[in-house]
Amino acid sequence: MLMSKYDKIKTDISHISQLTKTLAKDDPRRIIHSIKVGFAITLVSLFYYFDPLYQGFGVNAMWAVLTAVVVFEFSVGATLGKGVNRALATIIGGMSGFGAHKLSTLSGNKIVEPFLLGLFVFITAVLMTFMRFFPKMKARFDYGLLVFILTFCLICVSGYRNEEVIDMAHRRISTILIGSSTAVIVCVVIYPVWAGTDLHNLVSTNILTLSLFFQGFGLEYFNTSSEINSDDEYKTSIDAIKNVLNSKNNIDTLLNYAKWEFRHGRFKYGHPWTQYQKIGELARHCACRAEALHGLLYSQVQASNEVKAKFREPCMKISAESGNALNELSIAIKKMNKPSKANPHLQNAKQAAENLNLMLNSNIWKNLNLSDVTPAATVANLLADVVSCTEDIAEAVQELASLAKFKDVKVSPKIEKAKLTNQGSTKRRCVANHVILIETSSPTSSPRVSVPRDPPSLAMAQQNAE
Amino acid sequence: MLMSKYDKIKTDISHISQLTKTLAKDDPRRIIHSIKVGFAITLVSLFYYFDPLYQGFGVNAMWAVLTAVVVFEFSVGATLGKGVNRALATIIGGMSGFGAHKLSTLSGNKIVEPFLLGLFVFITAVLMTFMRFFPKMKARFDYGLLVFILTFCLICVSGYRNEEVIDMAHRRISTILIGSSTAVIVCVVIYPVWAGTDLHNLVSTNILTLSLFFQGFGLEYFNTSSEINSDDEYKTSIDAIKNVLNSKNNIDTLLNYAKWEFRHGRFKYGHPWTQYQKIGELARHCACRAEALHGLLYSQVQASNEVKAKFREPCMKISAESGNALNELSIAIKKMNKPSKANPHLQNAKQAAENLNLMLNSNIWKNLNLSDVTPAATVANLLADVVSCTEDIAEAVQELASLAKFKDVKVSPKIEKAKLTNQGSTKRRCVANHVILIETSSPTSSPRVSVPRDPPSLAMAQQNAE
């Protein structure tokens, strides 16, 4: 009995230490963040320990500690947002509270006064609480509204007891400013975590996930021999796709924080953060297609091998080239380059979709049963839909590149040459060796390399610059 | 100049009042919530106004106001969660802080003491902040950990000044208990908003949204005459589908709150809330198919009318009957009935899928071009996938019904009779009049009416009851 309990505690402890290691390994910034919080709080609590600092504020010094604890968040944007909200709301709330206090003393009646103050508190709480439901307020000033109610009530109510209201409001405001600014400064100065960078990386990673799925899907569906043994690897891939599908909330939150951040790293002031939201939505749209395709992979009704063989070439090309295009787009976002390298792949994918259409129009299907063909035809049709999704994503990334003035990447002369020699041939078949196709499918095999410049997005970029 | 400014303010005000009206109309509970918050805060601030109440706590009474403001949330679950977190964390944090204070005074050295206290504060802040990254802690005790750091630091640090640490800790804990309990009591007693009920309704509504989409999709795709005029209506439908796709975060949050709530309304203690998460995920899975189908609706490549005519009957039946089955499932959840009424529709949908398969195997396609057929075949195949999604949802709802002991609904004798007479005929064609098909498709036309009882889910229900 005692032994089993001891064993249980032992496994519990090993489980927790395992989890701790995983958490720390997955994102080492978590450890740094924890240390930063400890540092900031210890720094603020110096106010209590040392007499010269303590004399100025007295018991009010605890507000500084409280503020530092509450305001310190993981990313700079979140901390700044909360800090600014808290500081501004305290100042405005404190002033309003003082005003309400003055107004109630005008009555000069010690019995009417508390009722008047109670009424002010009630009305303010009701109005501000309702304002928290406004979507725009909720997104940016939810915490501020809460602190406003708080400060207003505290000043208003304690004002009734303490005649030195101004002095109290002043102390409260300055301690909160000290707490907020300590939190913000520690957060920004020591290994800062920028929500904007996280948003940028998340969107890029989401597109990379899609890219990996489509690069692998063709092989998975049309490779009749080794369908089972790569199952595990595939499972991680669909889990990743699910993460992309569920990323909306994460992206929205990061966007919200990123808007609070000032210029940092490669991100200038006025970086078009909302464009990431748009790309994220298109990626989710594309992930839906991926999920539908994944469903067909394990569907009970499958096309015969004969039919699959016929579909293999164009479908694998569409899938792999869409994947390659997405891969290039992901790299372009990550490195902040113009996404010109994605275009050849996109052209190849479109070309393959056209070839597929031509093939469907030919008469090689005459002797086949339609029910045999349908599953593969469905995959083919969904893949064609994926090409248009990829095009949409490419367009949105292009727009981002224009808005954020991403770097131009020079197309090497070799590619330029290939471009010229390929200009004449509009329809080409690729080699059926899919392994090479996926791993190398180089831009040299593209019929046209063009860097489309979107006039409307350029106009928007200029507008933004103003 | 002055006039235009005046106009701008006028439009701004009308815009805000419009938004306020919409917010209040969409969910009148928002107004009630605001008034409740005002009431609770005013109630707590009575401690300040009236001398007998004030004498006991002095300035510490402000902690009660502060707690009431911070703890009061929209739903009972959120308020309870925050209140319990705050109260428990304050008690434990206060006690730990007192312990740390005692420990540091043991040194008896006035110079070593602040350094020791600073070390305690630092270590606690680092450890607790890191603990907030543990997923399970984050879900249920995030706020508690924050308050623990807060209280520990305040007691520990102010303990250095104020020798009456126990007295201070005691006052802080009792005021916070008063604030928390006032918030919780007002939240529960006056028009309570239950997160559990919201979760229940949200999942039911999500399935209803899917149902409406599929009930309409067949008509939309195969009705060649009036494709355009219902465009607006359809747009709302796909927006609703997008809401379903993006509902994960909402469901997770509500689930988290629902777990804090005690027995209320039709929901007993130990209601299987997590099962809603499962149903929600399956609904999102199905919504993905709906989005893919919607993409095909506006795809450039469309099947010819001739082909569409051939696919119309079985596809419209699958779409409509899946929609009907989902509708019945949604109603069953809403009313907390066993979802037996969905089964006939599900059987019909499966039957139609089989018919479709037979049709694909027939030779009516010989003279058609495959590229003409593919778009419609894709729709057909995805719809067949929708049937299996619907089956999954039905199974999960059935499991929920077993776990939560939903009411049995009696199948009317008329249906029982129809069941018997239909038992012999396994394949039947429905009337092609789709309007009737969608609106009435009654359970009497089902080949078998069965109420499957899932042995594993029943076992789980018993396990739960223990």
3-state secondary structure chain B: CHHHHHHHHHHHHHHHHHHHHHHHHHCCHHHHHHHHHHHHHHHHHHHHHCHHHHHHHHHHHHHHHHHHHHHCCCCHHHHHHHHHHHHHHHHHHHHHHHHHHHHHHHCCCCCHHHHHHHHHHHHHHHHHHHHCCCHHHHHHHHHHHHHHHHHHHHHHHHHHHCCCHHHHHHHHHHHHHHHHHHHHHHHHHCCCCCHHHHHHHHHHHHHHHHHHHHHHHHHHHHCCCCCCCCHHHHHHHHHHHHHHHCCHHHHHHHHHHHCCCCCECCECCCCCHHHHHHHHHHHHHHHHHHHHHHHHHCCCCCCCHHHHHHHHHHHHHHHHHHHHHHHHHHHHHHHCECHHHHHHHHHHHHHHHHHHHHHHHCCCCCCCCHHHHHHHHHHHHHHHHHHHHHHHHHHHHHHHHHHCCCECCCCCHHHHHHHHHHCCCCCCCCCCCHHHHHHCCCHHHCCCCCCCCCHHHHHHHHHHHC
Q: What percent of chain A has pLDDT over 70?
A: 80
Candidate from A23, A49, A160 with C-beta closest to B133: A23
Residue B75 scores a pLDDT above 90:
yes
User: By CA distance, what is A370's nearest residue in B?
Assistant: B360
Candidate from A369, A378, A384 with C-beta closest to B377: A378
Residues comprising chain B, all counted: 466
> Which residues of chain A neighbour B377 with C-beta distances below 8 Å?
370, 373-374, 377-378, 381
Given this model, what pLDDT does residue B51 score?
64
Nearest residue to B289 via CA among A210, A303, A291: A291
Q: Do B48 and A161 touch (CB under 8 A)?
A: yes
Tokens standing for A29?
């910034």
Tell the residue number behind the tokens 């994102």, with chain if given: A27
> Which residues of chain B neighbour A65 with C-beta distances below 8 Å?
150, 153-154, 157
Could you report the per-residue pLDDT of A382-400, keeping only the tens digit for each? 898 899 999 999 999 999 9
Query: CB-based burial of residue A367 (10 Å sphere; 0-12 exposed, 13-18 middle, 19+ buried)?
Result: exposed
Candidate from A50, A150, A357 with C-beta closest to B69: A150
Given this model, what pLDDT does residue B466 score?
27
Greater confidence (B120 vs A464) lies with B120
Residue A176 scores a pLDDT above 50:
yes
Shortest Cα distance, chain B CAs vs residue A388, angstroms:
10
Which helix (H) or strand (E) segment is A313 a member of? helix A305-335
Shortest Cα distance, chain B CAs vs residue A91, angstroms:
17
Mean pLDDT, rounded, for A24-30: 91
Q: Identify the structural domains of chain B with CATH numbers, from first to last.
A: 26-189 (no CATH), 195-358+369-404 (1.20.58.220)
User: By CA distance, what is B247's nearest residue in A?
Assistant: A246
Amino acid identity for residue B449 in this structure: V
Whether ipTM > 0.85 holds is no
Residue pair B57/A168 in contact (Cβ under 8 Å)? The answer is no
User: By CA distance, what is A365's nearest residue in B?
Assistant: B370
Residue A441 scores a pLDDT above 60:
no
Convert A211-225 to b/e letters by CB count within 10 Å (16 or more is b): bbbbbbbbbbbbeee
Residue A440 scores a pLDDT above 70:
no
> Which residues of chain B neighbour A69 with C-beta distances below 8 Å?
125, 146, 149-150, 153
> Which residues of chain B neighbour A35 with C-beta distances below 8 Å?
126
> Which residues of chain B neighbour A384 with C-beta distances below 8 Å?
301
> Which residues of chain B neighbour A130 with C-beta distances below 8 Å?
20, 23, 30-31, 34
Residue A352 scores a pLDDT above 70:
yes
Which helix (H) or strand (E) segment is A292 a member of? helix A273-297
Interface size A-B, in CB pairs within 8 Å, comes to 222
Report helix angle A248-258 to A273-297, nearest 10.
170
User: By CA distance, what is A61's nearest residue in B?
Assistant: B158
Q: Which of A29, A32, A45, A46 to mutate to test the interface with B (most CBs of B within 10 A)?
A: A45
Dihedral of the alpha carbons of B273, B276, B277, B280, in degrees to the nearest 10: -170
User: By CA distance, what is B295's nearest residue in A?
Assistant: A385
Mean pLDDT, rounded, for B33-47: 90
> Which residues of chain A neighbour B289 with C-beta distances below 8 Å?
292, 295
Residue A54 scores a pLDDT above 90:
no
> Which residues of chain A neighbour B33 with C-beta distances below 8 Å?
129
Strand-pair partners of B264 = B267
Amino acid identity for residue B450 in this structure: S
Helices (H), A76-164: 76-106, 112-131, 135-159
Q: Which of A19, A182, A374 to mutate to test the interface with B (most CBs of B within 10 A)?
A: A374
Shortest Cα distance, chain B CAs vs residue A416, angstroms:
32
Give the up-direction half-sphere exposure of residue B187: CA atoms within 13 A in the CB hemisphere: 26
Query: Whole-model pTM above 0.90?
Result: no
Q: Does residue B58 come out as left (phi exceeding 0), alpha (psi in the -120 to 50 range) or beta?
A: left
Tokens standing for A183?
């939190």
Mean pLDDT, rounded, for B97-102: 86
Q: Do B114 and A49 touch (CB under 8 A)?
A: yes
Candidate from B49, B59, B130 with C-beta closest to A118: B49
Residue pair B328/B293 in contact (Cβ under 8 Å)? The answer is no
Nearest residue to B215 via CA among B6, B390, B24: B390
Q: Do B23 and A117 touch (CB under 8 A)?
A: no
Greater confidence (B113 vs A73) lies with A73
Greater confidence (A159 vs B299) lies with B299
Q: Do B378 and A375 touch (CB under 8 A)?
A: no
Candidate from B127, B157, B381 with C-beta closest to A45: B157
Candidate from A33, A370, A384 with C-beta closest to B360: A370
Q: What percent of chain B has pLDDT over 90?
A: 42
Residue A141 scores a pLDDT above 90:
yes
Shortest Cα distance, chain B CAs vs residue A432, angstroms:
22
Confidence bin at A453 (pLDDT 50/70/90): very low
Residue A465 scores a pLDDT above 50:
no
> Which residues of chain B neighbour A160 with C-beta distances below 8 Å?
48-49
Greater confidence (B231 vs B327) lies with B327
- Residues B155, B152: Cα–Cα separation, whole Å: 5
Per DSSP, chain A holds a count of helices (H) and strands (E) of: 18, 0
Dihedral of the alpha carbons of B11, B17, B19, B24, in degrees to the nearest 10: -170
Residue B337 scores a pLDDT above 70:
yes
Mean pLDDT, rounded, for B48-60: 67
Shortest Cα distance, chain A CAs vs residue B103, angstroms:
16
Greater confidence (B227 vs A352) lies with A352
Q: Which of B41, B65, B296, B357 to mutate to test the interface with A (most CBs of A within 10 A)?
A: B41
The neighbour count for residue A337, using CB atoms within 10 Å, is 16
Nearest residue to B432 via CA among B441, B423, B442, B444: B441
Nearest residue to B352 via CA among B234, B218, B451: B218
Residue B458 scores a pLDDT above 70:
no
* A404 secondary structure, DSSP code: T
Residue B460 scores a pLDDT above 90:
no
Q: Do A65 and B157 touch (CB under 8 A)?
A: yes
The mean pLDDT of chain A is: 80
Residue A336 scores a pLDDT above 70:
yes
Could you report the per-residue pLDDT of B206-221, keeping only the tens digit for each? 999 999 999 888 888 8
Candidate from B20, B150, B357 with C-beta closest to A69: B150
Candidate from B49, B285, B289 with C-beta closest to A114: B49
Q: Do B374 and A377 touch (CB under 8 A)?
A: yes
Given this model, what pLDDT does residue A160 score?
59
Confidence bin at B106 (pLDDT 50/70/90): confident
Residue B202 scores a pLDDT above 80:
yes
Dihedral of the alpha carbons of B201, B202, B203, B208, in degrees to the nearest 10: 90
Could you report the per-residue pLDDT of A277-333, keeping only the tens digit for each? 999 999 999 999 898 888 888 777 777 788 888 888 889 999 999 999 999 999 999
Q: List all residues 6 or more positions away from B433 whose beta carbon is below 8 Å from its beta carbon.
A: none
- Residues B294, B313: Cα–Cα separation, whole Å: 19
Mean pLDDT, rounded, for B55-80: 86
Given this model, what pLDDT does residue A46 score?
80
- Residues B412, B431: Cα–Cα separation, whole Å: 24
Residue A53 scores a pLDDT above 90:
no
Residue B243 scores a pLDDT above 70:
yes
Tokens standing for A261?
């951040």
Tokens standing for A243?
């993460």
Candidate from A123, A146, A291 with C-beta closest to B69: A146
Tell the residue number behind the tokens 């005029």, with chain if given: B229
Nearest residue to B234 via CA among B321, B294, B317: B294
Q: Do A370 and B384 touch (CB under 8 A)?
A: no
CA distances A126 to A114, A141, A146, Å, are 18, 16, 11
Candidate from B158, B360, B382 with C-beta closest to A371: B360
- Residues A245, B281: Cα–Cα separation, whole Å: 11
Candidate from B130, B360, B373 with C-beta closest to A31: B130
Residue A235 scores a pLDDT above 70:
no
Greater confidence (A151 vs A417) lies with A151
Confidence bin at B55 (pLDDT 50/70/90): low
Q: Which of B22, B35, B45 to mutate to test the interface with A (most CBs of A within 10 A)?
A: B45
Q: Do B245 and A37 touch (CB under 8 A)?
A: no
> Which residues of chain B neighbour A157 with C-beta distances below 8 Å?
45, 48-49, 62, 65
Mean pLDDT, rounded, for A239-260: 92
Given this model, what pLDDT does residue B236 score?
61
